[in-house]
């Protein structure tokens, strides 16, 4: 009714309530908005703990996120990076990317730590090496369109963008579901698979 998209409304709430430069507080403020005001399909705190634990275990230096949306997952990933690491995040919707950019900078991450790339993942992935300097990703977080998971994983493979022993973390593979991606990951022989049980966000 206001003509202001809900992602923008969430950002206005962040501006009013979040502590700038404090990524954990930015995420908590996001959670408050999503629990009590309007639902946004961010990762959320429950699944967020799985992401944090895996980052701590793997300590990746080159991280790729597919599906920035409002920047919640980006801030979550960026705050768990070891020193000297870099995060590349890809968002296809320019309006969402505009909000995410402000959220990422509000949380205190500069362009040296987090590079936001705007464009469809199938166009961005083949250019990651030459245009953005990502030679190999140690950790990939997929949280974009579920129907694109398999295509984009195979694009990463064909452009040799996955480091040896890389971790691929994909959200919502059971619901709404990415059955072809799951089938491929389990049967192609390149990956060891594990399903993390979690509730839907918020």
pLDDT confidence of residue 1: 62
In the numeric block, which tokens belong to residue 111? 């362009």
What's the mean pLDDT when you consider all of the chain?
96
| Nearest alpha carbon to residue 117 among 147, 135, 136, 96 | 96
Alpha-carbon distance 139 to 167, whole Å? Answer: 5
Q: What does the alpha-carbon distance between residue 41 and residue 34 come to, in Å, rounded to a whole number?
A: 9
The whole-angstrom distance between residue 66's C-alpha and the CA centroid of its chain comes to 6
Domain ranges of the chain: 6-188
- pLDDT given for residue 101 in this prediction: 98
pLDDT at 123 over 70: yes
CA distance 40 to 44: 9
Catalytic site includes residue 172 = yes
- What would the pLDDT profile of 68-93 be if each residue is shown by its tens digit? 999 999 999 999 999 999 999 999 99
Nearest Cα residue to 153 out of 128, 196, 122, 187: 122
Q: Catalytic pick from 91, 101, 152, 201?
A: 201
Q: Residue 25: which pLDDT band, with cuts at 50, 70 and 90?
A: very high
Distance of CA 190 to the CA centre of its chain: 23
State the CATH architecture for 6-188: 3-Layer(aba) Sandwich (3.40)
pLDDT tens-digit series, residues 157-193: 999 999 999 999 999 999 989 999 999 999 999 999 9
Return the SS3 of 50. helix
pTM of the predicted structure, to 2 decimals: 0.97
d(CA 161, CA 100): 24
Considering the candidates 38, 146, 164, 186, report the single residue annotated as catalytic: 146
Residue 102 in this model has a pLDDT that exceeds 80: yes
| pLDDT the model gives residue 178 | 96
Query: Cβ of 41: how many Cβ atoms within 10 Å?
Result: 16
Q: Is the pLDDT of residue 2 over 90?
A: no
Please check whether residue 85 is in contact with residue 63, taking contact to mean a CB–CB distance below 8 angstroms: yes
- In DSSP terms, which residues pair with 62 in a beta bridge? 86
Give the Cα separation of 10 and 40 in Å (integer).
9
Query: How does 110-143 read in b/e, with b if 16+ C-beta sit within 10 Å?
Result: eeeebbbbbeebeebbeebeeeeebebbbbbbbb
Residue 3 has pLDDT above 90, yes or no: no
């Amino acid at each position: 009714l206001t003509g202001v998209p809900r992602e923008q409304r969430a950002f206005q709430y962040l501006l009013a309530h979040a502590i700038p430069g404090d990524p954990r507080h930015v995420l908590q403020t996001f959670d408050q908005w999503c629990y009590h005001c309007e639902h946004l399909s961010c990762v959320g705190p429950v699944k967020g703990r799985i992401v944090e634990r895996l980052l701590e275990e793997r300590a990746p230096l080159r991280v790729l996120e597919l599906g920035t949306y409002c920047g919640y997952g980006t801030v979550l990933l960026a705050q768990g990076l070891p020193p000297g690491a870099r995060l590349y995040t890809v968002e296809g919707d320019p309006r969402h990317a505009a909000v995410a950019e402000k959220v990422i900078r509000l949380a205190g991450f500069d362009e040296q730590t987090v590079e936001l790339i705007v464009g469809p993942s199938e166009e961005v992935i083949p250019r990651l090496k030459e245009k953005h300097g990502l030679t190999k990703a140690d950790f990939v977080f997929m949280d974009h369109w579920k129907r694109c998971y398999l295509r984009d994983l195979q694009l990463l493979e064909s452009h040799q963008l996955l480091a040896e022993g890389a971790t691929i973390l994909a959200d919502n593979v059971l619901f709404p579901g990415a059955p072809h991606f799951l089938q491929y990951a389990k049967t192609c022989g390149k990956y060891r698979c594990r399903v993390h049980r979690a509730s839907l966000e918020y």
